[in-house]
Structure 1
């Protein structure tokens, strides 16, 4: 199964090669719904929201990006592979691609880089001086930066799980589980691609989701795997943690689930239990994001929709944002009032939340391939003169580029 229309060089790429929607090639690889051949004739306007009682058409300002103070700042291009992952740390931007390289950018210029031995880089997360990267080969690699070194060099600091835990557990048959007819694996190892990484609010835990249908919980201090949960019936595409101990997962099985973290003081263990199932649908859940306060959860799907839930005591369905005519591939929240969605249609929608309503204030265009990943940080160097908060948004694409955008929440305007 191939497609080539989304790429500027008209290259044919297999879906399972680009890391989005794997085609099962073995007993270990789960089947995924492919959104690439779907069309949505009802999407006549790129900016309206669907609520339980029907459709609400919002004001459309997308043709005047300058009026909304949302504009392109620059592009980062290095012809070495499609960009699958992004992460920011202060003035540094980390990008991962199918070249297996992790590039580090500073002030819109290439600063340094480092390379893994195998597996395209599907996820990057940063905790202090440690950089965690999740890969197509199912491995999580740990890197350590040297902030005082002018060259910005990084060194390999290990993998998850740590080698000592592998050696200690390998002699006990009870530590293995069957992943194929002729294959078994230690329970704390991922059996398929690592699709997403995120940190707990207190930065003590790392969560890793995988196409092997599991969510694994790692203690950062000693690289120990505390828990492994089979959370879905198909590949897990996204995971995000909230400020009050909730973890939301989204899967190719069409569901989004909420898991509640419980701390067991007797043995200093961590346990996660299913708290709520948010979504059950035919379309794959491809991305998940939560606003800064943890009061709104967004789930992007392969049908082009962004469903959202608002939280009081529990998460209650709020509606669906319709801004894309192909799959939503990534989401990023900026503060409490802005969320960005990137799609296979090569666009980025900027949504502003005002109470229960969302307005699409801009559609950012310029990529020539699907927008695969997003990262956002507050722009403290250039405050908006009208009193709005300013954000710097980074978008990585399968056109091999990263674009940098200035985005305003428009509250003061």
Structure 2
């Protein structure tokens, strides 16, 4: 397995358990004990404020997505696996293999039936494939399925090849027919999800692409490359404009659910634009020297949640750009100063917040009424 060599690598996330501390370290090395021998499943339940703590990954959770009905949580990790959790019962549905260099991106279609996963790095080209799965009827793994690590209701539909370096971002069109993938190879590719065929390449980026986002109306696609955000017409593949986003490299990007606001963030700065006129609305600066790691946009409120490299989670008012709340994860062990919440995601109804911290996932009620998670 290969792991990111820097604590500033691109991620998207889950949360860690209080009794298992994993981090991304500078010059990170493979753990001395194999991933297979370390895989265990643990679940902690506490009704308020913590709902679930999922512990399954043996390395940092890099990406996280809820199913549209909010009944499933899917996590990807640098340990090269994807875990699918049942949020009603707090049980593991399936562990999916298939990647050789860590999982960077996971996306699910609006009907909840198609899951797409991808990974890889800029330096190592051992995993440049995109895996497309049918998970529409995923049910709990029984004992016989655990032994073979298979759930027969989950099927791999396609393996997409074409990128020459690791994949950093994925987006599915509202109708579930089209996939966009971004890569360190400086390209965005558009795929037909039904056939698995490549439709077109969007290649005007001058640097590796760190993140992409598709507006909820399916019309506009954006890609983050170095300090720039390139805006594309998602239907035609034509470029619309290029925005100068932040003083340093843009790491994450997204639209508000109404497709009216575009948000791009780097370690130090988050820039907010009107997505119709591209006029800047707000500039949010990290309150910490350590900087931002990831963000999540609330599906209903004008609210942004961020994670930071100083081990905190921040809640921001997007209308004013002001900090509303700072929360410290309960798993914050100060003697492990390189462990931090590496990713964050709101549930589709906005009532829960999932945070990635080490190899586990915390699921919290939202709003958060305590200073400590």
Normalising by structure 1, we get a TM-score of 0.67
1:318 aligns with 2:278: no
Residue 134, structure 1, aligned to residue 123, structure 2: no
Q: Out of 71, 85, 101, which is 1:119 matched to?
A: 101
Of 151, 156, 167, which aligns to 1:194?
Answer: 167
User: In 1, are the aligned partners of 2:286 and 2:292 still within 8 Å (CA)?
Assistant: no
* Preserved contact between residue 57 and residue 79 of structure 2 (Cα < 8 Å): no
Structure 2: where are the runs of 5+ without partners? Answer: 10-19, 31-47, 121-126, 142-150, 333-338
| Secondary structure in 2 matching 1:14 | coil
Query: CA-to-partner distance for each residue in 1:291-341, whole Å, 9 max, x for gaps?
Result: 111111111113x21111124x41111121124523433222112512222
Contact 2:352–2:366 (CA<8 Å) still a contact in 1? Answer: yes
Residue 178 of structure 2 contacts residue 190 of structure 2 at CA under 8 Å; is this kept in 1? yes
Where in structure 1 are there 5+ consecutive unaligned residues?
18-69, 162-188, 263-270, 380-389
Query: Deviation of residue 228 (structure 1)?
Result: 0.9
Between the aligned partners of 1:16 and 1:238, the Cα distance in structure 2 is: 25
1:243-392 residue pairs with structure 2 within 5 A? Answer: 243-251=217-225, 253-262=226-235, 271-279=236-244, 281-302=246-267, 304-311=268-275, 313-325=276-288, 326-335=290-299, 336-354=301-319, 357-366=320-329, 368=332, 369-379=339-349, 390-392=350-352
Please give the alpha-carbon distance, in whole angstroms, between the structure 2 residues aligned to 1:120 and 1:404.
Answer: 23
Label 1:370 to 1:92 Cα distance change in 2 as closer, same or farther (>3 A).
Answer: same
- Pick closer, same or farther for the CA change 1:148–1:277 going to 2, 3 Å: closer
Gap change, CA 1:157 and 1:221, over 3 Å in 2: closer
User: Superposed, which structure 2 residues align to 1:10-409 within 5 Å?
Assistant: 12-14=25-27, 72-89=50-67, 90=69, 91-107=71-87, 108-127=90-109, 128-136=112-120, 137-145=127-135, 147=137, 149-151=139-141, 153=152, 154-161=154-161, 189-242=162-215, 243-251=217-225, 253-262=226-235, 271-279=236-244, 281-302=246-267, 304-311=268-275, 313-325=276-288, 326-335=290-299, 336-354=301-319, 357-366=320-329, 368=332, 369-379=339-349, 390-397=350-357, 399-408=358-367
Deviation for aligned residue 1:358: 2.9
CA distances 1:212-261 after superposition (whole Å, capped 9, x unpaired): 1111111112111111122322111110011151111112x211121113
Distance 1:77 1:250, change over 3 A: same
Give the distance between the partners of 1:225 and 1:9, measured in 2 at CA.
37
- Alpha-carbon distance in structure 1 between the residues aligned to 2:106 and 2:23: 28
List 4+ stretches of structure 1 deviating above 6 A.
1-7
Classify the secondary structure of the residue corresponding to 2:137: coil
Alpha-carbon displacement from aligned partner over 1:338-374 (angstroms, at most 9, x marks no partner): 22222323222212234xx133222232154233322
CA distance in 2, matches of 1:237, 1:4: 15
Whether contact under 8 Å (2:114, 2:136) holds in the other structure is no
Count residues with an aligned counterpart: 307
Kept in 2, the 8 Å contact 1:209–1:237? The answer is yes
Q: What is the distance in 1 between the residues matched to 2:99 and 2:135?
A: 18
Shift of the 408–160 alpha-carbon distance from structure 1 to 2, 3 Å rule, reads same
SS of corresponding position for 2:279: strand
Using the size of structure 2 for normalisation, the TM-score is: 0.74
**C-alpha separation in 1, matches of 2:166 and 2:270:** 24
- Do the aligned partners of 1:324 and 1:345 also contact (CA within 8 Å) in 2? no
Cα distance, 1:103 vs. partner?
Answer: 0.8
